[in-house]
Amino acid sequence: MLKSSNYDKFPVIKAQLNECITGWDTIAQEILAAASTVQGKPVIAIECYPGVNTSEIRNGLLDTIKQAHIIDTATAFKSEEEINKMVYPYVTDDPVFGYITPLALKDFFDAEKVARLISAIESSPNNLVLVIGAGASLIAEQPALLIYADMPRWEIQLRFRKQAVPNLGVSNNSASFSYLYKRAFFVDWRVCDRQKKALKNKIDFWLDTTKADEPKLATAAAINQALASAVQQPFRVVPFFDPGPWGGQWLKEEFDLDRSEKNFAWGFDCVPEENSLLIQFKNDVFELPSINLVFDHPQELLGEKVYRAFGDEFPIRFDFLDTMQGGNLSLQVHPLMEYIREKFGMGYTQDESYYFLEAADDAFVYLGLKENIVPEKMIAGLESAQAGNGPFEAEQYVEKWPIKKHDHILIPAGTVHCSGANSVVLEISATPYIFTFKLWDWGRMGLDGKPRPISIAHGKNVIQWQRTTEWTKENLVNKFEPITEGDGWREERTGLSTTSFIETRRHWFTKTVQHNTHGVVNVLNLIEGREAIVESPLNAFEPFIIHYAETFIVPAAVGAYTITPHGESSGKQCATIKASVRTNNLKNYRIN
């Protein structure tokens, strides 16, 4: 009998305060009621993250709040020409990479236009003023009510694909997805995250418009309470899945995804910058970006030492790469730390590892170079293939390793690599995720029918040519080391490489395993077994059930916890892989 999928695609965190309402009419009534308690002419600011459909908010509220004077913040932006010129150094002409901007939201506004709007608010004959859009909190600096309309990055990307939303301050909806994404990644999201953090203690309500025409309004008190309790218990972020040119069929079957998609390449199960959190109220579920939890509770979530190095960035990423009945990823390399800092303004680099959840008999990984290759010859071969002169002979230059289920391959930045067809990788990595220098894409097209951008010019600057067959075998392939064992369990170290700040431990167990965060965030995945239960020895949190291949986060503040096979896996062998941060050598990672 085929086993059914038990992977939970919509994990929730329970709210304790039931303060969430839905529907534009109800929300408008709530806003009116809150505004009526204010003396004089209330000004309400609805600060919007990029990607929010401001006309949906305006139209939704106006039906009920007819008497309001509506101010659209877009009327105070600098001209598109000025904005484009201002952001250009950070967007650049590179097809994929830009430079992290230091700009602030204020820089997008024209001071004279803002002054005019402020006097329009003051002289408005209406008895209620609604300021809506990005920068509303700059125009109405001391509003009677501050509402924050947020948007998770994954939903913004889906809107970019539909050309439904533009970049910050401009109306470039019809630009290519890659341009919109690059500009958002290097500019808009940085700018608006800074503003969001600055508003942290001033927000009265959060507005969720992630699903069109299903608005939800929750009090800041209820959201704050839910986030404060989230960092005292294990939790999951909401995963999302995306097809790709090399995507496979495993995620679709295993996680019961949309069968009509031709494949799924990626499953993003723990990328808090892009995932969201679902807060379960009595009758409604409120969605918000999971990065808000990192911004609000970095110390409890990450732990003091990790926070001191990384600030409010979540440094560990888990995702899936599915090539079952699919193809090879691109042959690629990631930038060294100095390179990513200098060229792209990122604080730390994409050190990675591949944990193989599944592998067909013919599965393999390209990793490291062959002995005695000539770098100039390899680069010439890549450039020639790129110029269309026949395929790059990867196997002449790059080592190929057979792979089986539960292998763990370490990929420090600078190592040439590529996961081959017919496997499922649980990628356990440092968080940066777009800094892939593709060297060769096997002559195939991207999903849009066009070749994907190749970055040999960057790649050749970072390839570590001494990482050849023997070195790779010695340092990067299955570096398993037994640590300790007890009644019904054993623990091994599996990685990552000594140059990475991430440590991974694997536990095989048929009985309870004791864990402790020791003040450092843990990220785990159930890599074997259908079901396990995570419990607090002190009953500090409610028992938390996890299923096969689900990634979950245990905040640093949790301290002691246990994991035991559960339900249909009771008494059977399970395994988890746990990533944490090595805190003894974080000097190099100090980015805040």
Interface contacts to ligand F6P, rule CB under 6 A: 244, 246, 329-330, 332, 352, 427, 433, 436, 438
Question: Count of residues for the chain?
Answer: 592
Which of 155, 352, 324, 359 lies closest to 251, judged by CA?
324
Name every residue whose Cβ is closer than 8 Å to that of residue 162 and which is 6 or more positions away in sequence. Answer: none
Q: Beta strand pairing status for 522-528 and 551-554? A: antiparallel
Residues 6+ apart with CB under 8 A from 16: 222, 225, 226, 229
H or E stretch covering 551:
strand 551-554
> CA 516 to CA 495: how far, in whole Å?
19
CB of 433 to ligand F6P, least distance (A): 5
In whole angstroms, the minimum distance from the beta carbon of 341 to ligand F6P comes to 18
Nearest approach in angstroms of CB 228 to ligand F6P is: 32
> C-alpha angle 293/294/298, rounded to 5°?
115
* 313/427 with CB nearer ligand F6P: 427
Long-range (24+ apart) CB contacts under 8 A made by 377-384 are: 379/456, 379/460, 382/439, 382/440, 382/456, 382/459, 383/456
Q: Which is nearer to ligand F6P, 254 or 352 (CB)?
A: 352
Nearer to ligand F6P, 135 or 267 (CB): 267
Q: Choose between 244 and 381: whose C-beta lies nearer to ligand F6P.
A: 244
How far is residue 547's CA from residue 347's CA, in Å, rounded to a whole number?
34
Of 344, 338, 349, 378, whose CA–CA distance to 497 is shortest?
349
H or E element at residue 493: strand 489-495
Min. distance of Cβ 164 from ligand F6P in angstroms? 24
Specify the residue, 167 or 455, whose C-beta has the smaller distance to ligand F6P: 455
Q: How far is the CB of 71 from ligand F6P (least distance, A)?
A: 41
Give me 567's structure tokens. Answer: 């339900």
Please state the closest distance from residue 405 (CB atom) to ligand F6P, in A.
19
Side by side, the strands of the sheet bearing 276-280 are: 13-14, 276-280, 285-289
Local structure of residue 415 (DSSP, 8 states): -
Instruction: Return the closest-CA partner of residue 210 out of 293, 133, 287.
Output: 287
Name which of 47 and 352 has its Cβ closer to ligand F6P: 352
- Give the DSSP letter of residue 242: E
**Least Å distance between CB 265 and ligand F6P?**
7
Q: Cα angle vertex 48, ends 217, 229, to 5°? A: 50
Instruction: State in angstroms the smallest separation of the CB of 163 from ligand F6P.
Output: 22
| Closest approach of ligand F6P to the CB of residue 254, in Å | 19
Residue with smaller CB distance to ligand F6P, 295 or 401: 401
Residue whose CB is less far from ligand F6P, 292 or 350? 350
Based on CB atoms, which residue is closest to ligand F6P, 179 or 442? Answer: 442
